[in-house]
């Protein structure tokens, strides 16, 4: 294999820019010179009567149709060719998740580490997988000529390689509301070895509370140091006297836990005087546990530290890890009461991830299929082929009904469940353990 | 005494004959010239408001951070600047104002086909404009979405987007009905001898424009209606959490709004195509090519909308197709420029104000068009999309193109309508000041955009400061030029010297009747046309 030299995004875009600029400058010069010359040469002072009444010339017109056609095709080609380079991700590109929301960026690296600046190793292509949690944003790094919109509900990407160490501006280029122009961060290009070291570092610098504020983008608009921003500062927010507008009427209150929670879930209800009604609601975006963490931090920073929850990791890697942990932790007893936010039982996690709970309830109610409640070790009437049969719902039956659901169908239910052949024996065991707890 | 008044009224043409007293003689008139003037003064008023907002935006950007207004105010201001300039000035500007004033005369008609519908269109325009203004002071305050109303932001913001959407919906109908009226008029009301190949190029451009108005404008109506439903009913058509797609909104929006660019610029090209022959005393070079290219632009321009969306997440195949079609549509525009230049060749050129403004159209439109090639090329667009380069580009095309054509039309046709002439020297000086301010303002924008400054930025990083200050200074020079031009022309229209029927030596029909024109234009007998619109020999000019 003879690998082709990498065409950087900057080179790809600049080539198209230079070609088009070159052609355009010549065309503009030609048009301007011809116009000024004709106006001077054929002025009415010089020629009180026009020299001719020519109103067409077929060959001239054909010529000035064909030449621009060729030129625009050349320009199209350079543009398209460069664009393909932007879309072709090099094989060795490091994937980084780039999440955007009003009005901040969060980058998540392969090992789960997160940062609000984008750290990249020099000389190594990176592929930023872009997503948005609310409205449209656009990932734009002028130095590398890359731009791609972040669209809610779909993943887009942009790759680039930083060839020189340095700090490069990263802008949001798609209008996203009042603090659009503050949605700025930087790309920090550092030598590869330094990058590896940075990546391995545990993010111990910040308290869990600050980690949560960062994770949910609060700090894009609310400062921690008392400085004015889009929204009120968090410094000294606990017990602060504020004047808010509620339904157009001003009232003064002292910020407490209830008020803070309301202003996160229903920010439009009470607007602090002097600030725009710009904050979106985070009602469905912050899990209950994290909401408590944020409120703990805002109300009392010290108390939050005492809990020592360790560094907060981003949501996505955590979800992925749960699956891996399933096999290892099969014997773990459900501890749902202690840790409500993390799905405690691997069997429940499996059922949740595979969509079982869409058709099978856990509380005895009938949805599409039979409820999971009290399902195991119960006698059921099933239909096998044309015949009715009574069987005991044991682990063999469970295996069959997952891998080949249409072979035996419980009486009174439709035979519509798809097969789940990917469930391993361990998975089924985990599921059974969980089902047995649902008495 | 009464006899003298009667004579004076007759000399004043259509000005002297109103069906109703006072203001009602205007707002209930079905005379195409009176309706044209209603439009002219309405769009001019909104243009001045738009300019004022633009100056405020530039002032805010004079320095990083807060200069004169808050971020929320800034966002509302640029939204308003865009909505006013596009929906209330440029789109109705030349077609509704000068189209109504001149087009029926150019084809030898007494009026448009549906005079009452014409008046109704103006009333719709005023209703839409009133609602747009109302949206500023009611509900959640002035809309802050930009004129593009992109979802999901526009579906979520608490500002008064819903009412603004209704306003755009109504303005769309005003535009559709004007288009319908013009197409019918040009087909049905041409006088004897006015064959298709004798129609002046201004009227031809209105014909091409009118078809786009009829065919494309309903799409913006649908788009804003869906946005309204999204906000009020929560239909979720554009919300991915409910199976919708925000990119679909962009498609719908640009399916109208790109052809709308040609609604804006084609009539301007028509004005230029009419002015250059008159001041060169030569027939329009390649008349048929200009007609064909107008229709080609109207058709092909409807197929390039997604070139606004290269970075939006659409497929690479779509990017290729739309980039290719975009370059195709550049060809007819280039042909027009060459035709205008060839018309000047071997002519007898008089640099009167209408020609000056027309020539600056060619220069500025060419710069704007060439920078459009940067945006049409897929790779280059990725860098400059949604930056100040785009802002500079469309101001060159829209203001340097359509705006200059509007000024050219003012200097060319208003003396005909008012029967009085402005001061030509002041008009020339004003032109010079405008061009200098214009170039400083918008070239700075293009450069700062090329450096990477995104558009719709209230605040910017320090390295962009110098160019932003230069642009702001340019905006002041431009404003001085505009004031000079408007004061001069308005003073001339009311106090200037009377003009004869044909002050410029034109060969088309509007120059064969008195200035100002009589109420039904041609008196008892319809004119009979025996030669083309630029046949200066047969018209007796040469």
Q: CA–CA separation, B416 vs B421, rounded Å?
A: 9
Interface of B with A in 111-150 (CB under 8 A): 140, 144-146, 150
pLDDT at position A261, please? 86
Q: Does B359 touch chain A (CB under 8 A)?
A: yes
Instruction: Give me the interface pTM, i.e. the ipTM.
Output: 0.91
Report pLDDT for A272. Answer: 83
> Measured between alpha carbons, how far is A282 from A266 in angstroms, rounded to an integer?
8
Could you tell me if residue B518 is inside a domain? no
**B349 and B492 fall within a common domain:** yes
- Which CATH number goes with the domain that contains A178? 2.60.40.420
Cβ <8 Å between A73 and B327: yes
Query: What is d(CA B353, CA B410) in angstroms, rounded to the nearest whole number?
Result: 10
Distance (Å) from the C-alpha of residue B263 to the closest C-alpha of chain A? Answer: 23
Residues pairing with A133 in the sheet: none
A192 assigned to some structural domain: yes
Write down the pLDDT at residue A324: 38
CB contact under 8 A, B454 and A61: no
Residues B2 and B90 in one domain: no
Any domain includes A322: no
- Answer whether residue A327 shows pLDDT above 70: no
Tell whether A314 is covered by a domain: no
pLDDT at A312: 37
- Chain A residues with CB under 8 Å of B454 CB are 140, 171-173, 181
Mean pLDDT of chain A: 81
Name the 3-class secondary structure at B387.
strand
Which residue would you say has higher pLDDT here, A256 or A420? A256
- B533 is a domain residue: no
Same domain? For A144 and A118 the reply is yes
Take residue B128 and report the two structure tokens written for it: 């839409």
Q: Which of A47, A70, A87 is the last residue of a domain?
A: A87
On whether both A346 and A416 belong to a single domain, the answer is yes
The encoded tokens of residue B289 equal 């090519």
Average pLDDT over residues A24-46: 95
More confidently predicted of A274 and B361: B361
For residues A103 and A195, membership in a common domain is answered with yes
In a domain, A126, yes or no: yes
Please tell me the total count of domains within chain A: 4
For residue B112, being part of any structural domain is answered with yes
pLDDT at B201: 96
In a domain, A289, yes or no: yes
Q: How far apart are the first and last CA of chain A?
A: 62
- Is residue A317 domain-resident? no
Q: What is the pTM of this model?
A: 0.80
Cβ pair A39:B349 closer than 8 A: yes
In a domain, B329, yes or no: yes
Interface test with B, best of A62, A76, A282 (most B CBs within 10 A): A76
* pLDDT (0 to 100) of residue B371: 95
CA–CA min distance A30, chain B (Å): 10
Q: Are B6 and B43 in the same domain?
A: no
Check CB contact under 8 Å for A64 and B335.
Answer: yes
The CATH number of the domain holding residue A74 is: 1.10.287
CB B412 within 8 A of CB A46: no
The shortest CB-CB distance from A173 to any of B75, B387, B536 is to: B387
With CA atoms as reference, the chain B residue closest to A32 would be B363
The answer as to whether B376 is a domain residue is: yes
Q: What is the pLDDT of residue A253?
A: 82
Residues B23 and B36 grouped into a single domain: no
Minimal C-alpha gap between A148 and chain B (Å): 5
Cα B305 to the chain's mean position, in Å? Answer: 19
Q: B318 and B256, same structural domain?
A: yes
pLDDT tens digit at each of 542 positions of chain B: 333 334 444 568 898 878 888 899 999 999 999 999 999 999 999 999 999 999 999 999 999 988 899 888 999 999 999 999 999 999 999 999 999 999 999 999 999 999 999 999 999 999 999 999 999 888 888 999 999 999 889 998 888 999 999 999 999 999 999 999 999 999 999 999 999 999 999 999 999 999 999 999 999 999 999 999 999 998 999 988 888 999 999 999 999 999 999 999 999 999 999 999 999 999 999 999 999 999 999 999 999 999 999 999 999 999 999 999 999 999 999 999 999 999 999 999 999 999 999 999 999 999 999 999 999 999 999 999 999 999 999 999 999 999 999 999 999 999 999 999 999 999 999 999 999 999 999 999 999 999 999 999 999 999 999 999 999 999 999 999 999 999 999 999 999 999 999 999 999 999 999 999 998 899 888 899 999 999 999 988 88
Judged by DSSP in three states, B28 sits in coil
Report helix, strand or coil for B537.
coil
The partner residue sitting opposite A13, judged by closest CB among B344, B383, B454, is: B383
B240 and chain A: CB distance < 8 Å anywhere?
Answer: yes
Q: What is the DSSP letter of B539?
A: T
Indicate yes or no: CB of A56 within 8 angstroms of CB of B288: yes
Q: Closest to B312 (Cβ–Cβ): which among A12, A52, A149? A: A149
Among B152, B377, B391, which would you mutate to test the A interface (most chain A Cβ atoms within 10 Å of its Cβ)?
A: B377
Percent of chain A at pLDDT > 70 equals 86
Percent of chain B with pLDDT over 70: 98
Helix, strand, coil percent values for chain A (each to nearest 5): 35, 20, 45
- Domain range enclosing B19: 1-29
Whether B330 sits inside 8 A of A156 (CB atoms) is no
Mark which of A87, A113, A141 sits at the end of a domain: A87
Domain-located, residue B156: yes
The span from the CA of B485 to the CA of B395, in Å, is 19
* Same domain? B330 vs B420: yes
Do both B262 and B392 map to the same domain? yes
State the Cα–Cα distance between residues A233 and A226, nearest whole angstrom: 5
Contact A86 B382 (CB under 8 A): yes
More confident residue, A215 or A301: A215
Please count the structural domains in chain B: 2
Taking Cα atoms as reference points, which of B242, B207, B237 lies closest to residue B223?
B237
Same domain, A350 and A375: yes
Got the DSSP string for A182-232?
A: G--EEEEEE-HHHHHHHHHS---SS-HHHHHHHHTTGGGTS-SSS---SS-
Task: Give the chain B residue whose CA is nearest to the CA of A141.
Answer: B452
- Could you report the per-residue pLDDT of A17-27, keeping only the tens digit for each? 999 999 999 99
- Residue among A49, A75, A276 minimizing CB distance to B348: A49
Same domain? A151 vs A83: no
Which among B246, B328, B373 has the least Cβ separation from residue A152? Answer: B246
Range of the domain at A178: 94-200
Put simply, the answer to whether A79 touches B366 (Cβ < 8 Å) is: no
Span A87-99, pLDDT tens digits: 999 999 999 999 9
Q: Does A83 share its domain with A110?
A: no
Interchain CB contact of B423 with A (< 8 Å): no
* Cα–Cα distance, A107 to B135 (Å, whole number): 39
B23: how many CB neighbours lie within 10 A of its CB?
A: 9
In this complex, do B370 and A16 lie within 8 Å of one another by their Cβ atoms? no
Beta-carbon separation of B71 and A173 below 8 A: no
Mutating which of A16, A49, A79, A101 best tests the B interface, going by the most B Cβ atoms within 10 A? A79
In a domain? residue A325: no
CATH number, domain of B185, equals 1.20.210.10
**Same-domain pairing of B23 and B136:** no
**Whether residue A196 sits in one domain with residue A137:** yes
- Residue A344's pLDDT is 58
Q: Is B125 within 8 Å of B171 (Cβ atoms)?
A: yes
Q: Which of A65, A169, A173 sits opposite B331 (nearest CB)?
A: A65
A289 preceded by a cis bond (ω within 30 of 0): no
Is there a contact between A251 and A244 (Cβ–Cβ < 8 Å)? yes
- How much is the pLDDT for A318? 36
| Residue A327 within a domain | no
CB proximity B376 to A under 8 Å: yes
Q: How far is B190 from chain A (nearest CA, A)?
A: 24
Q: Which residues in chain B touch residue A148, judged by CB atoms under 8 angstroms apart?
A: 311, 313
One domain for residues A362 and A407: yes
Q: Is B349 on the interface with A (CB under 8 A)?
A: yes
> What pLDDT shows up at residue A377?
76
List of chain B residues whose C-beta atoms are within 8 Å of the C-beta of residue A80:
319-320, 323-324, 377-379
Determine the average pLDDT of the residues in A210-237.
Answer: 78
Q: What is the pLDDT of residue B340?
A: 96
Contacts A–B by Cβ distance under 8 A: 266
Please indicate, yes or no, whether residues A112 and A22 belong to a single structural domain of this protein. Answer: no
Tell me which of B278 and A397 has the higher pLDDT: B278
Does the CB of B346 have a partner CB in chain A at under 8 Å? Answer: yes
Domain identity same for A109 and A77: no
**In this predicted model, which residue has the larger pLDDT, B267 or A281?**
B267
The reply to whether B505 touches chain A by the CB within 8 Å rule is no
pLDDT band at A150 (very low <50, low <70, confident <90, very high): very high
Phi/psi at B455 (5° precision)? -80, 170
User: Which residues from chain A sit within 8 angstroms of residue B345, using beta carbons?
Assistant: 38, 42, 54
**A187 in the same domain as A98:** yes
User: Do B434 and B445 sit in the same domain of this protein?
Assistant: yes
> Does a structural domain hold residue B525?
no
Q: A411 with A382: CB under 8 angstroms? A: yes
DSSP β-bridge partners for residue A380:
A391
Residues of B in contact with A280 (CB under 8 A): 156
Q: Is B318 exposed, middle or buried (0-12, 13-18, 19+ CB in 10 A)?
A: middle
Check residue B395 and give its pLDDT: 96
Q: Does one domain contain both B44 and B7?
A: no
Residues A115 and A162 in one domain: yes
Q: How confident is the model at residue A418 (pLDDT cuts 50, 70, 90)?
A: confident
**Of the candidates A57, A81, A178, which has its C-beta nearest B72's C-beta?**
A178
* End-of-domain residue from the set A54, A87, A120: A87
């Amino acid at each position: 294999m003879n690998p082709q030299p990498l065409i950087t995004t900057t080179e790809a875009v600049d080539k198209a820019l230079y070609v088009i600029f070159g052609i355009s400058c010549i065309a503009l010069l030609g048009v301007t010179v011809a116009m000024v010359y004709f106006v001077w040469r054929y002025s009415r002072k010089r020629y009180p009567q026009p020299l001719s009444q020519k109103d067409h010339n077929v060959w001239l017109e054909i010529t000035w149709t064909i030449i621009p056609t060729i030129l625009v095709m050349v320009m199209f080609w350079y543009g398209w060719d460069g664009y393909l380079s932007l879309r072709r991700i090099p094989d060795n590109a490091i994937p980084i998740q780039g999440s955007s929301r009003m009005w901040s960026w969060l980058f998540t690296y392969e090992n789960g580490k997160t940062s609000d600046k984008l750290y990249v190793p020099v000389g190594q292509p990176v592929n930023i997988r872009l997503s948005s949690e609310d409205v449209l944003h656009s990932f734009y790094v002028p130095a590398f000529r890359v731009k791609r919109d972040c669209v809610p509900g779909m993943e887009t990407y942009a790759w680039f390689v930083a060839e020189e160490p340095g700090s490069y501006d990263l802008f949001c280029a798609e209008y996203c509301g009042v603090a659009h122009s503050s949605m700025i961060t930087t790309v920090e290009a550092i030598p590869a070895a330094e990058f590896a070291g940075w990546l391995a570092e545990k993010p111990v610098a910040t308290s869990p509370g600050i980690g949560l504020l960062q994770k949910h983008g609060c700090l894009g608009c609310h400062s921690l140091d008392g400085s004015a921003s889009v929204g009120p500062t968090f410094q000294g927010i606990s017990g602060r006297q504020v004047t808010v507008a509620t339904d157009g009427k001003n009232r003064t209150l002292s910020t407490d836990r209830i008020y803070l929670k309301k202003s996160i879930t229903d920010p439009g209800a009470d607007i602090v005087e002097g600030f725009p009604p710009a904050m979106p609601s985070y009602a469905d975006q912050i899990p209950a546990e994290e909401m408590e963490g944020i409120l703990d931090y805002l109300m009392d920073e010290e108390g939050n530290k005492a809990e020592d929850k360790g560094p907060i990791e981003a949501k996505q890697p955590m979800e992925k890890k749960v699956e891996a942990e399933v096999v290892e932790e099969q014997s773990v007893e459900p501890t749902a009461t202690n840790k409500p936010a993390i799905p405690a039982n691997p069997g429940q996690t499996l059922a949740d991830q595979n969509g079982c709970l869409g058709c099978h309830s856990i509380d005895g109610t009938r949805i599409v299929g039979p409820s999971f409640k009290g399902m195991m070790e119960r006698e059921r009437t099933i239909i096998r082929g044309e015949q009715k049969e009574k069987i005991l719902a044991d682990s063999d039956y469970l295996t069959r009904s997952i891998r080949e659901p249409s072979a035996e169908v419980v009486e009174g239910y439709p035979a519509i469940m798809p097969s789940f052949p990917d469930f391993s024996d361990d998975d089924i065991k985990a599921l059974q353990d969980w089902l047995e707890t649902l008495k | 005494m009464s006899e003298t008044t009667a004579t004076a009224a007759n000399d004043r043409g259509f000005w002297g004959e109103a069906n109703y007293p006072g203001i009602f003689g205007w707002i209930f008139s079905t005379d195409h010239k009176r309706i044209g003037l209603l439009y002219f003064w309405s769009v001019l008023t909104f243009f001045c408001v738009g300019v004022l907002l633009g100056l405020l935006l530039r002032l805010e950007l004079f320095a990083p951070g807060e200069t004169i207004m808050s971020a929320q105010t800034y966002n509302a201001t640029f939204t308003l600047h865009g909505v006013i300039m596009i929906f209330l000035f440029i789109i109705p500007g030349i077609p509704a104002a000068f189209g109504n004033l001149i087009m029926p005369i150019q084809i030898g008609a007494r009026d448009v086909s549906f005079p009452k519908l014409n008046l109704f269109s103006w009333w719709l325009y005023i209703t839409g404009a009133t609602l747009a203004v109302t949206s500023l002071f009611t509900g959640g305050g002035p809309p802050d979405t930009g004129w593009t109303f992109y979802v999901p932001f526009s579906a979520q913001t608490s500002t008064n987007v819903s009412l603004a959407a209704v306003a755009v919906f109504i303005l769309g109908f005003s535009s559709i009905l004007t288009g319908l009226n013009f197409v019918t008029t040009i087909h049905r009301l041409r006088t004897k001898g006015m064959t298709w190949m004798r129609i002046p190029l201004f009227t031809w451009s209105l014909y091409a424009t009118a078809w786009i108005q009829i065919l494309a404008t309903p799409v913006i109506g649908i788009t804003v209606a869906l946005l309204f439903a999204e906000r009020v009913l929560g239909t979720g058509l554009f919300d991915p959490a409910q199976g919708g797609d925000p990119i679909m909104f962009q498609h719908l929006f640009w399916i109208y709004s790109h052809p709308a660019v040609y609604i804006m610029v084609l009539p301007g090209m028509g004005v230029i195509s009419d002015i250059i022959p008159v001041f060169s005393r030569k027939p329009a070079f390649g008349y048929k090519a200009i007609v064909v290219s107008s229709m080609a632009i109207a058709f092909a321009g409807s197929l390039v909308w997604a070139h606004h969306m290269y970075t939006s997440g659409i497929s690479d195949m779509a990017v290729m197709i739309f980039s290719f079609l975009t370059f195709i549509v550049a060809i007819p525009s280039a042909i027009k420029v060459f035709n205008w230049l060839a018309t000047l060749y071997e002519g007898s050129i008089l640099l009167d104000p209408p020609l000056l403004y027309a020539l600056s159209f060619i220069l500025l439109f060419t710069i704007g068009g060439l920078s459009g090639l940067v945006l049409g090329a897929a790779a280059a667009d990725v860098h400059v999309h949604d930056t100040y380069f785009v802002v500079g580009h469309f101001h060159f095309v829209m203001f340097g193109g359509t705006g200059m054509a509007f000024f050219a039309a003012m200097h060319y046709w208003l003396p005909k309508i008012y029967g009085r002439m402005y001061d030509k020297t002041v008009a020339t000086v004003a032109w010079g000041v405008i061009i200098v301010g214009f170039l400083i303002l918008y070239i700075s924008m293009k450069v700062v955009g090329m450096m990477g400054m995104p558009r719709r930025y209230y605040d910017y990083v320090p390295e962009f400061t110098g160019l932003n200050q230069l642009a702001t200074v340019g905006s002041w020079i431009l404003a001085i030029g505009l004031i000079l031009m408007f004061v001069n022309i308005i003073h001339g229209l009311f106090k200037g010297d009377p003009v004869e029927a044909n002050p410029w030596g034109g060969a088309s029909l509007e120059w064969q009747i008195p200035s100002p024109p009589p109420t039904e234009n041609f008196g008892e007998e319809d004119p009979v046309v025996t030669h083309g619109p630029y046949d200066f020999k047969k018209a007796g000019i040469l």
